[in-house]
Structure 1
Amino acid sequence: MEEITAPGADDADEQRTYTKLITAVSDYRRRHHRAGPDVLGPRPQGLDGEEWDHLTDAIDLYTHARVQRRLEQMRARTAAERAAILPPTSPLRRPPPDTHRPGHRPPSR
């Protein structure tokens, strides 16, 4: 459960989403007698499998949204720091080109 990152206290909407997700996962774990580090355990068969799929998707979407938000915050902080340090005429003051277009993949190494 600790792998599902809690949001900061300053974002009430994100806090509500996190609380709903943790409550749903905890309820699932209680009803299916799950314990241990694996959040949901192996995928069950039948209708329980559909619930497992739904919760797994919710965890993935929540995690993706948290990572995207953190990246946006880091980019904004970097741009603000660059603007504060560099003189107004510096060509480095321009923000880097946006490489996060849908379908764009960074070069593999």
Structure 2
Amino acid sequence: MEEITAPGHDDEDEDEQRTYTRLLTAISDYRRRHHRAGPDILGPRPAGLDGEEWDHLTDAIDLYTHARVQHRLEQIRARTAAERAALLPPTSPLRQSPPDTHRPSHRSPTR
């Protein structure tokens, strides 16, 4: 579960903290009920209704991880733009941020 990135402690959104806590609680509950241990967070996909719960938790982990990566990229882009603005003269054409060519996909994970 160490692979699931925790929100930072500086000025993080309380909703993100709650989401992280709920996700870890759901995973821990699943692991306890299914006697899972070791580095594989959920273990192999079980059959039947337990498989549906496994799918749901796997999708939640994927979505949470994707959101954390997107948030971190936004922070890096903002910091880069601020550093560029601080270092370059006001008339420099490089002072402008490059256009964002990344188009995030809004597809839900498939499993």
The answer, yes or no, to whether TM exceeds 0.5 is: yes
Q: What SS does the corresponding residue of 2:72 show, helix, strand or coil?
A: helix
Q: How does 1:12-31 map to 2 (within 5 A)?
A: 12-31=14-33
Residue 95 (1) aligns with residue 97 (2)? yes
Q: Provide the residue aligned with 2:38 in structure 1.
A: 36
Please give the alpha-carbon distance, in whole angstroms, between the structure 2 residues aligned to 1:33 and 1:101: 40
Runs of at least 4 residues of structure 1 off by over 3 A? none
- Relative contact order, CA 8 A, sep 6+: which one is greater? 2
Please give the alpha-carbon distance, in whole angstroms, between the structure 2 residues aligned to 1:79 and 1:94: 8
Q: Provide the residue aligned with 1:63 in structure 2.
A: 65
Q: Provide the residue aligned with 1:106 in structure 2.
A: none
Q: Provide the residue aligned with 1:107 in structure 2.
A: none
Residue 47 (1) aligns with residue 46 (2)? no
* Structure 2: runs of 5 or more not aligned: 106-111
Q: What SS does the corresponding residue of 2:61 show, helix, strand or coil?
A: helix
Q: Provide the residue aligned with 1:84 in structure 2.
A: 86
TM-aligned CA deviation for residue 95 of structure 1: 0.6
TM-score after normalising by structure 2 = 0.90
Q: For residues 62-107 of structure 1, what are the alpha-carbon distances to aligned partners after superposition, in whole Å with 9 as ceiling and x for unaligned?
A: 000000000000000000000000000001101111101246xxxx
Q: How many residues align?
A: 103
